[in-house]
A and B are shown apart, each in its own frame.
Chain A
Amino acid sequence: MEFTPIIGLEVHVQLLTKSKLFCGCPNLFNPDNPNVQTCPVCIGLPGSLPVMNQEALRLSQKTAMALNLNLANFTKWDRKQYYYPDLPKAYQISQFDLPFSYDGWVEVTLPSSGETTKVRLIRAHLEEDAGKNMHDESGRGGDSKVDLNRTGTPLLEIVSEPDIRSAEEARVFLEELRLLLRYIEVSDCNMQEGSMRCDANVNLHVHEDGEKIPTPIVEVKNLNSFRGVEAAIEHEIKRQIKAWETDRKRIGDVPKETRGWDADRGQTFGQRGKEDAADYRYFPDPDLVPVTTTDEQFDAIRATLCVFPADRRNSYVSDLGLSDYDASVIVDQGREYADYFDEVTSVCGDGKQAANWLTQDVQRELNDRKIEIAEFSILASVLGTVLQKIVKGEITIKSGRAVFTELLAQSDDGSDVTANSVDTIIADKGLGKVQDTGKIDIAIQAVIGNERNAKAVEDVRGGKQQAVGPLIGQVMRELKGADAGSVRQMIIDKLTS
C-alpha cells in the first residue's frame, strides 16, 4: 500500500504579558494556588467589561512578523460560543473572519535527510485562554475541579497548512517555532507548563490505481511534549493505515474524529465528537472595539526584532566559517547562548575558535554543573580575552585550557574573574608563550649540549627529522609555553644549517 501522511498543526502559545488579555489579573503559571488570579471580567460576572491589553497585541504582531505572516491593518474580536466549565462566560473571545495575521511560513530542516522544507501557515490569531479542569480519576464519577487562574490569559493560535509529511517534520517544525518565539521573547513555550500546546490534524492520501484517496481526518488533541507530538503522529499514521485496510472509509464518509493521546500506553484514543465550526455561532463581540494598526506602527514593532535563529545559523556558516552542525548546536541552545558566542567571537576575532570552545570546554562545564549559560561564571568577555591571546599567538591552546581551568577554580572559590584575571594567571603560572628567541636559543643550546641527547642530535643532523621530537619536548618543558612549531624549526635550523 502506498500512501502519503498529510499533517497540519494547530499550535497554542501563551504570551509573556504581565496581565491577562482583557483584565488586570496577573498572567502567571500558579497551579498550587488555584482561583487567586480572577476578577469579575475573567470569570464573566454580569456587567463587567473587557479592555484589550495593548502589549498582548504588540507581542502577537511581533510574532507574526517572525513567522512571515501578513499583518492586517484592521482586525476585530469575535465571540465563539460553547459550554465548558473552564470557560465561565460560555463564550471565548477570539478572532474569526478578520484575524490580525494570515499567510505565512516557517522553514524547517529535517535532521534525517538534511532536506529543507517550507511549512506554510494559514493564520495566527489572538484569543483568551480557558481555565483548567481537573477530572476525578477514581472512576467513581466524582466532581471535576475547575481552576480559573488561566482563564482570560492571552493565547496565540498558530495554524499551519497541512504541509507536513512526517512525524519527524512535525516535531522539527514545533522545535523551530519554539526556538523562534523564545528568541523574540514573546513566549517561554514551556510544554510541561502548558505555555505551548499542540493539536495535530492527520490523515492519509492513499495512492491506488493512479488515484489519490484522502482518508478521514483525525484531530489528535493536547499533545504536551515534542516526543509526544512525534510519537502520537507516528501511532496515528499506523492506526489509519490499518483502519483503511479494514473499512476503506474515505474523507466525508464519517464526521471528523477527535482523539486524545495516552503517552503511557503510546496510543491515541477516541474522544467526544467535535461540533461543527458553524455551531460556535461566532459574532463580533460588542464589548470590544476593532483595532487598527498603521504601517508606521508595524515598522516600530519590526525594529524591536532580533536576528532570527535561521538567519543566525546561516551567518555563522557563511560569515564565520562554522560547520552547519556547529552553527545549529550554538543557535539551538537559545538566544542567550548565541549572544554569549557572539560576544566571545567579537572579543577574540575568531568564530571557529569560539565555536570549538563553546561546543566543547564550555558545554562540558555546563553539563557537569547542570547550569545554563546565563549562570556560567566565566563571562563572555573573559573567555573572549583568553581566546584572543590564543588567536594572537601569545599563549598556546594548551595554556589557554590551563587558564580556563584556573578561572573556574578561582570563581568556584568565590572570586570574580575578569579579563585582568586572565593576565594575572598567565603571568603567575608562566603560561605566556616564550617570544624571546634569545631565551629559546639558550634552552635549545642546553638540550643539544646534553650528553644524553647526543644520539638524537646526530640523527637529526643526519636528516632523520622524526628524531627531533624528544628534543622539542625537553625544550618546551624548560620554557613552559613556547610554540612547539617554532621550537622545532629553530632546532632543525641549528642542527642542519
Chain B
Amino acid sequence: MLSPEDVQKVATLARLKLSEEELEQIGHQLGEILDYVAVLDEVDVSEVEPMAHVADVFNAFRADETRVSLPREESLSNAPKTDGKYFLVPQILENA
C-alpha cells in the first residue's frame, strides 16, 4: 500500500485533485499494482543490458524537409480559449 503522502505527491505532479477517501483508495490500488510488478524483482538481470526500446528497431529517420502546417484556425480549434491568434491560458502562477 502506498502512503497517502506518496499518492498526494504523484497526484500533484499529475495535476490531479484527490479527496482523502480517494488518496486512501488509490494508495491501495497502486500498492497492489506495485506488488504485482515486484514479481519481476526475482529475476536476476545483473547480466542483462538495459533495454531502450521494446522493438528491435533502430534509426528511424526522416529527411529535413518541411511540410505544410495546420492553418491557425485549425490549430486553435480544440483550445478552450483563444483570441484568434494565440492559445489563452489562465495566468501562470508561481508554484502552479
Chain A residues proximal to chain B, CB less than 8 Å: 17-19, 23-26, 34-40, 43, 45, 51-57, 74, 76, 81, 83-85, 98, 133-136, 141-148, 271-273, 275, 279, 281, 284, 286, 288-292
B38 within 8 A of A: no
CB atoms of A51 and B66 under 8 A apart: no
A52 in contact with B60 (CB, 8 Å): yes
> B19 at the A/B interface (Cβ < 8 Å)?
no
Within 8 A of A (CB), among B44-84: 52-55, 57-67, 69-72, 75-76, 78, 81, 83
**Given A19-B64, A147-B86, A135 contacting B53 (CB threshold 8 A):** no
A229 to B65, CA, bound (A): 35
Partner of A43, one of B63, B75, B91: B75
Measured between beta carbons, the chain B residues less than 8 angstroms from A144 are 88-92
Assess whether B94 is in contact with A272, with CB atoms less than 8 Å apart.
yes
Q: Whole-angstrom distance between the alpha carbons of A245 and B54 in the complex? A: 55
The list of the 6 closest CB pairs from A to B, nearest first, reads A24-B67, A55-B64, A145-B86, A54-B61, A146-B87, A143-B88
Q: Pick the contact of A52 from B52, B61, B85 — CB < 8 Å?
A: B61
On whether the beta carbons of B81 and A35 are closer than 8 Å, the reply is: no
Complex: A8 Cα to B87 Cα, angstroms: 35
Residues of B in contact (CB 8 Å), total 36
What is the minimal beta-carbon distance from A222 to any residue of chain B, in angstroms? 14
Chain B residue at minimal CB-CB distance from A279: B13
A26 touching B69 in the complex, CB below 8 Å, given contacts A35-B76, A134-B86, A144-B92? yes
Q: Which residues of A contact B13 (CB under 8 A)?
A: 81, 275, 279, 281
Contact A25 B66 (CB under 8 A): yes
A74 to B58 alpha-carbon distance, docked (Å)? 10
A465-B69 Cα distance, complex, nearest whole Å? 82
Residues of chain A within 8 A (CB-CB) of B55 are 289
Query: Which residues from A are CB-within-8-Å of B15?
Result: 83
B54 contacts across to A, CB distance below 8 A? 286
Contact A145 B83 (CB under 8 A): yes
Chain A contact surface mostly: loop
In the complex, what residue of chain A is closest to B60 when comparing beta carbons?
Answer: A289
Instruction: Tell me the minimal C-beta distance from B41 to chain A in angstroms.
Output: 18
Chain A residues with CB below 8 A from B62, complex form:
24, 51-54
By beta carbon, the residue of chain B nearest A28 is B66
- Determine if B70 and A290 form an interchain contact, defined as CB atoms under 8 angstroms apart: no
- How far apart are the CA atoms of A134 and B90 in the complex, in Å? 11
- Rounded to whole angstroms, the CA-CA distance of A81 and B64 in the bound complex is 27
How many Å from the CB of A449 to the closest CB on chain B? 78
Other-chain residue from A24, A136, A141, A291 in contact with B66 (beta carbon distance below 8 A): A24
Contact B92 A38 (CB under 8 A): no
Known contacts being A81-B13, A284-B52, A290-B52, is A37 close to B86, with CB within 8 Å? no
Q: Of B52, B66, B86, which is within 8 A of A19 by CB?
A: B66
Rounded to whole angstroms, the CA-CA distance of A98 and B67 in the bound complex is: 30
In the bound complex, CA of A273 to CA of B95 (Å)? 7
Cβ contact within 8 Å between B69 and A37: yes
Most chain A CB within 10 A, of B55, B61, B62, B69, is at: B69
Bound-complex Cα distance A275 to B14 (A):
13
Chain A residues with CB under 8 Å of B63's CB are 54-55
Could you say which residues of chain B place their CB within 8 Å of the CB of A56? 64
Query: How long is the Cα–Cα vector from A403 to B45 in the complex, in angstroms?
Result: 78
B59 adjacent to A291 (CB under 8 Å): yes
Hey, which chain A residues are within 8 Å of B64, CB to CB? 17-19, 53-56
- Per a CB cutoff under 8 Å, which of A26, A35, A52, A84 touches B72? A35
